[in-house]
Chains A and B, each alone.
Chain A
Amino acid sequence: MEELLEKLLEAVEFGKVDKKSPYPPQLRDMDGAHELTIRAIETGIKPQKILEEALIPAMERVGKKFAECKIFVPQMLMSARAMGSSMFQLKPYFASGAIKTKGTFIIGTVKGDLHDIGKNLVSMMVEGGGWSIVDLGVDVGADKFVEALKNNPGAVIGLSALLTTTMVNMGEIVANIREQAPETKILIGGAPVNDDFCQKIGADFYAPDPQKAVEYLNRIAS
């Protein structure tokens, strides 16, 4: 039983989606996250345990390696895909309430900006950290964030931007959210953003990489 979770952890950490997936070469022809998750459920391992003892620690390792430049975007994306194939099997248990997440994270690339790879990586890492995700996509204005917050009271907000000309829109969105729900926690990220800018616009946290976002969320959730 423990061995199965260890294998799943390894499959997700190294991005082995399913048995037929050629990546990574060292796990060729072995079961991937898809098969291992099905087997874990069949064996009777609690879905909450699968999430907490395989998926979350796997994505934490991935996030740390990415922050240390030990792996890059392609490997992170493959791990995220492996996690996704596992999550897909766990979906019914999330819906039934058999799995409890740490909270809800609403994320979007801000108005005027269409860059979504960075946003997607953060979204996948936060999901792998045990959170529910509401992804609003790209070119998202304040109204959409406020509306999503109404549907998910108490959720944390994440704002992403890649351009110096669009990061200014973060300020307007933060102000709008503060007006509607002053206690909402807002984290920001993206290439042109930094701590000073975060303080200037009154956001709560600047995450320089996806793992820092996960760590911040875990701090405020506990």
Chain B
Amino acid sequence: MKKHTITLHPLGKELQVNDQTPLIDVLHEFGIEFPCGGKGTCGKCRVRLLGGEIETTPTHRQKIEQLGLGTDWRLACFSRCTSDIILEIEQFNHLILADESEFDFTPGEGFGVAVDLGTTTLVAQLIDLSSAKVLAVETMLNPQVKFGADLISRIQAWMDGNANEMVQLIRSAIGTMIRLMLKKHEVELKKVTIVGNTTMQLIFSNCDVSSLSSYPFHTNDLGLKSFDPADLGWNFNVQENVQFFPSIGSFVGSDILAGIAATSLYQKEDYTALIDLGTNGEIVIGNKNQIVCASTAAGPAFEGANISMGMRAVTGAISSLNLVENKIVASVIGNTVPKGICGSALIDAVAILRELDQVGMFGEINSGAPQISITGKVMLTQRDINEFQLAKAAIAAGLTILTNQLSIQPAAIHEIYIAGGFGSYINIGNVVATGMIEHDPSKIHKMGNTALIGAKMFLFADRGPADQILAITRHINLEGDPNFQDIYVDKMLFPI
């Protein structure tokens, strides 16, 4: 049978399907919703055809016209796959990773839900505990985003009297996601496991986060929290309970605990590192005997914040740059005119400008101009390059300090996993070229949403692995290291 490739933007996923496969079957797996049930009346399942062909019937064309959409739009519920196609999914106009990786598990009974409660995005999966099959996915922007993008502004909002609203918002958002999945699959839930960073855990649990606002950044509420769904305002039953897994430290949460489980670094003889490049950048290094972890302030630049033409990975963002015969060639999400640059391409840009010797080892633009044109109207300013240096130095310094804490040589780290939304799209060679990760590229692997993989593993394994990991894990405050400043500033330089 003929096969076709479907590429999904901005998810960056590629999948193979049989000829004539209805798009509704494919996209359903990715959490795309079909509110009107495929009647073509609501238009919510609209997708933009960026490449290839989808044939339309007169009815389909009429619906598109009635919804006021352009000729490049299709309704997924009316479409079948008859060629290789590239789609931009309207419902995914923010970047969310819904993981489908395989993992080892001991089959159980019933159904469970795993939730990755991120600072920016929420992902929930309904899992069949007998097969570990993902039955449904829901993704959503964290509704607390209105209180600010980063953790410190959330903590500030909490202290400014928004505590109740923040707790209700997040509890109700996750309840809604689970309810939507249960609508598609009417099953009785056995349990729900949630992972997230410490601040997200405390807010969900209605625990005070104000102690995380300033030094010594201490909280006594790191432990596992169990809830009765009724107490969370959820109107569906959970046979066992809802568990928010324990945090490791004040700024390293159960999302990283889950990441450690997902990489199984706590079971390995050799040292392994995990770098989560989310809104907050966390780093873990360890093996079966000892694990150290820390958080860094690396995130915002990679999400487009503080970069003059920075943006998230949405239509119009340059997603990658390549050097072809000394010319910079850009890939733009949606194949449109580039409007800005997202985190993955920012790394490419700096690596390429270094290679072309347009940027010096201190990050200076060699021509002395205040900015460099990347492609079209997209520019990088001197300040943007400096912002990137701060971010990449935070990661590199974190890796160095944690390696020192373990009293091991960098070469003793066998493998490095990169997790997190933006981590899936980066060019590893360029990451190494900028000095962000000073290791052999062959050791570095992308691993997707390790928090969600770990949360799923916790559904099967209960507390065992989490307790095992916590027993050997130390949380390090990078800035408390007496050599932090020297190392951090040193890592702002580019390798020669």
A interface list, Cβ under 8 A from B: 69-75, 77, 111-117, 120, 138-139, 163-166, 169
In the A-B complex, the 9 residue pairs with the smallest Cβ-Cβ separation, listed nearest first, are A112-B214, A165-B213, A69-B382, A166-B214, A112-B215, A72-B386, A74-B492, A114-B479, A77-B489
Interface presence of B58 (CB below 8 A): no
Q: Assess whether B364 is in contact with A71, with CB atoms less than 8 Å apart.
A: yes
Assess the B370–A116 pair: CB atoms within 8 A.
no
Chain A residues whose C-beta falls within 8 Å of the C-beta of B263 in the assembled complex: none
Return B157 CB to nearest CB of chain A, in Å.
10
Contact of B485 with A by CB under 8 A: yes
B270 within 8 A of partner (CB): no
Are A73 and B213 CB-contacts (below 8 A) given A114-B479, A115-B479, A164-B153? no
Q: Is B485's CB under 8 angstroms from A166's CB?
A: no
Please state if B152 and A73 are interface contacts (CB–CB under 8 Å). Answer: no
Question: How far apart are B489's CB and chain A's nearest CB, in angstroms?
Answer: 5
**CA–CA, A115 to B484, complex, Å?**
11
Judge whether A165 and B155 touch: CB under 8 Å.
Answer: yes
Whether A114 contacts B215 in the complex (CB less than 8 A), given A71-B364, A120-B485, comes out as yes
Determine the chain A residues whose CB is within 8 A of the CB of B492 once the complex forms: 72-74
Find chain A residues with CB under 8 A from B389 CB. 72-73
Interface SS majority for chain B: helix
Given A73-B386, A73-B492, A117-B488: 14 more A-B contacts, CB < 8 Å: A69-B382, A69-B386, A72-B362, A73-B489, A74-B363, A75-B362, A77-B489, A113-B215, A114-B215, A114-B480, A165-B152, A165-B155, A165-B213, A166-B215
Complex formed: what's the CA distance from A164 to B154 in Å?
11
Q: Smallest CB–CB gap between A32 and chain B, Å?
A: 18
Q: Which residues of A contact B488 (CB under 8 A)?
A: 117
User: Is there a chain A Cβ closer than 8 Å to B159's Cβ?
Assistant: yes
In the complex, the answer to whether A74 meets B156 with C-beta atoms within 8 Å is: no
Chain B residues packing against A (C-beta within 8 Å): 152-153, 155-156, 159, 213-215, 362-364, 368, 370, 381-383, 386, 389-390, 477, 479-480, 485, 488-490, 492-493
On whether the beta carbons of B485 and A69 are closer than 8 Å, the reply is no
Inter-chain CA distance A22–B255, complex, in Å, is 43
CA distance A75 to B213 in the complex (A): 32
Measured between beta carbons, the chain B residues less than 8 angstroms from A114 are 215, 477, 479-480
Cβ contact within 8 Å between A164 and B489: no
Q: Which of A72, A111, A139 counts the most chain B CB atoms within 10 A? A: A72
For the complex, what is the distance from the CA of A77 to the CA of B493, rounded to whole Å?
12
Instruction: Return chain A residues, CB-CB under 8 Å to B479.
Output: 114-116
Q: Which residues of B contact A120 (CB under 8 A)?
A: 485
A77-B489, A114-B479, A120-B485 given; A70·B215 CB < 8 A: no
- Would you call B214 and A71 a contact (CB within 8 A)? no
- Complex CA–CA separation, A28 to B464 (angstroms): 58
**With A71-B364, A72-B363, A165-B152 known to touch, is A117 a contact of B214 (CB < 8 Å)?**
no
Question: Across the two chains, which residue of chain A brings its CB closest to B210?
Answer: A165
Nearest opposing residue in chain A for B490, CB measure: A74
Which residues of chain A come closer than 8 Å to B215, judged between CB atoms?
111-114, 138-139, 166
Task: Report A-chain residues with C-beta under 8 Å of the C-beta of B156.
Answer: 164-165
| Bound complex: CA A163 to CA B217 (Å) | 12
Chain A residues lying within 8 Å of B153, measured Cβ to Cβ, are 164
Asked if residues B490 and A117 are in contact (CB atoms below 8 Å), the reply is: no
Compute how far the CA of A74 lies from the CA of B489 in the bound complex, rounded to whole angstroms: 6
Return 26 A-B CB contacts under 8 Å, by A number: A69-B370, A69-B381, A69-B386, A72-B386, A72-B492, A73-B489, A74-B362, A74-B363, A74-B489, A74-B492, A75-B362, A111-B215, A112-B213, A112-B214, A114-B479, A114-B480, A116-B485, A117-B485, A117-B488, A138-B215, A163-B152, A165-B155, A165-B159, A165-B213, A165-B214, A166-B215
Most A Cβ at <10 Å: residue of B213, B362, B368, B383: B362
> With the chains together, A166 CA to B155 CA distance in Å?
12
Complex: A60 Cα to B152 Cα, angstroms: 35
Bound complex: CA A69 to CA B488 (Å): 19
A23 to chain B minimum Cβ distance, whole angstroms, is 9
Q: How far is the CA of A77 from the CA of B486 in the complex (A)?
A: 9
* Assembled-state Cα–Cα distance A74/B485 (Å): 10
How far apart are A142's CB and chain B's nearest CB, in angstroms? 15
Chain B residue with Cβ nearest A15: B362
Q: Give complex CA distance A71, B383 in Å.
A: 10
Report B251 CB to chain A, min CB distance, Å: 12
Listed residue (B159, B214, B362, B488) with the most chain A CB atoms within 10 angstroms of its CB: B214
Q: Are A72 and B364 in contact (CB under 8 A)?
A: yes
Are A70's CB and B364's CB within 8 A? yes
Closest to B389 in A: A72
CA distance A163 to B477 in the complex (A): 16
